[in-house]
Structure 1
Amino acid sequence: MTRQRGIVVGYDGSDFSLRALEWATEEAELRGLPLTVTYAWRWPYGKADGEARLHLGKAAEHVLFHGVKCARAHSAIVEVVTDLHEGSAAQRLVELSADAELLVVGAHDRGMAARFVIGSVAVFVAARARSPVVIVREAGQGPVLPGPRPVVLGVKDTTADAVLDFAFQEAALRRLPLWVVHAGHPRPMAWGIAMAHAPDLEDSARACRERMEERLTPWRQKYAEVHLEVRSATTAPRDALLAASAEVGLLVVGTGRTASRTGHLGAITGALVRHASCPVAVVPSQEHDSSPTPPTG
Structure 2
Amino acid sequence: MDTSVLAPFVDTIYSTLYENVLSCLSMATIAFDLCLEFEQESFFRSTLAAERIRQLAKAAGEGQIKFELDDEMHSEALRIASEKAASLAKEADTYIERTVSRLLAVLDRDGFQTRVDNLTRQSIVLLWTAFETFNRDLLRAILNARPDLYRRLEKDQDFRKEIRSIDIERIAERGFDLSNCLGDIIFSSRDLSNAKSIERIYLPLYPEAKMLHCALSSKRLYFLGKVRNLIVHTGGVVDSEFLKVTDYNGSTGDRLKFHTVEFQEFCEEVLSTSEQVCNAVKVDFTRHP
Superposition TM-score, scaled by structure 1 size: 0.24
More strand by share: 1
Larger radius of gyration: 2
Higher relative contact order (CA 8 A, sep 6+): 2
Superposition TM-score, scaled by structure 2 size: 0.24
More helix by share: 2
